[in-house]
Amino acid sequence: MGNVAVPVKFMSNKTELAWCKKSSYNLKKMEVELKLKLLVLALLMVGAIADPQIRLINKGCSQYNATNLLNFYQNLNATFVDLRTQVSNQSKNFATAQEAKGADPVYALFQCRKYLSNADCAACFDVAAAQIRNCSAGANGARVIYDGCFLRYESSGFFDQTTLPGNSMICGNQRAVGATSTTFNATARQVLMDLQIATPKISGFFAATKTQVAGGGAIYAIAQCAETVTESGCLDCLTVGVTNIQSCLPNTDGRAFDAGCFMRYSEISFFPDNQTIDITPFLKQDGSSKKGAIIGGVVGGVGLVVILLALFAWLRWYQKPKRAPRGDILGATELKGPVTYRYKDLKSATKNFSDENKLGEGGFGDVYKGTLKNGKVVAVKKLILGQSGKMDEQFESEVKLISNVHHRNLVRLLGCCSKGQERILVYEYMPNSSLDKFLFGEKNGSLNWKQRYDIILGTARGLAYLHEDFHVCIIHRDIKPSNILLDDDLQPRIADFGLARLLPEDQSHLSTRFAGTLGYTAPEYAIHGQLSEKADTYSFGVVVLEIISGQKSSELRDDAEGEFLLQRAWKLYEGDMHLELVDKTLNPDDYDAEEVKKIIEIALLCTQASAAARPTMSEIAILLKSKNLLGHMRPAMPVFVESNFRSRVDISISTAGSSTTSNATVSTSVLSAR
Give the number of other CB atoms < 10 A from CB of residue 454: 16
**Helix locations, 336-480, DSSP H:** 343-349, 390-397, 435-439, 449-464
Residue among 656, 645, 457, 651 nearest 552 (CA): 645
Residue among 440, 444, 428 nearest 485 (CA): 428
Q: How many Cα atoms occupy the beta-carbon half-sphere of 476 within 13 Å?
A: 32
Per the residue annotation, which of 120, 194, 478, 496 is the catalytic one? 478
Q: Provide the CA 195 distance to its chain's centre, in angstroms.
A: 36
Axis-axis angle for helices 617-625, 593-606 (nearest 10): 170
Residue among 379, 399, 392 nearest 422 (CA): 392
Provide the Cα torsion 341, 347, 351, 353; round to 10°.
110
Element (H, E) at 293: helix 288-319
Q: Coil, strand or helix: which one is 257?
A: strand
Backbone angles phi, psi at 313, to 5 degrees: -65, -40
Residue 260: Cβ-neighbour burial (10 angstroms; 0-12, 13-18, 19+): buried
Asked whether residue 376 is marked as a ligand-binding residue, the answer is no
Provide the Cα torsion 40, 44, 45, 47; round to 10°.
140
Give bridge partners of residue 366 from the DSSP assignment.
Answer: 361, 382
Q: What is the largest CA-CA distance in the chain?
A: 102
Write the single-letter amino acid at 455. I
Element (H, E) at 87: helix 69-88
Find all residues with CB under 8 Å of 644, minimum gap 6, and list them. Answer: 518, 519, 554, 651, 652, 653
In the residue annotation, 82 being an active-site residue is answered as: no
Under DSSP, the state recorded for 411 is P
Distance CA 63, CA 154 (A): 12
Under DSSP, the state recorded for 371 is E
Q: Provide the CA 179 distance to its chain's centre, in angstroms.
A: 50
Binding residues: 382
Binding residues for ATP: 382
Point out the residues that are catalytic: 478
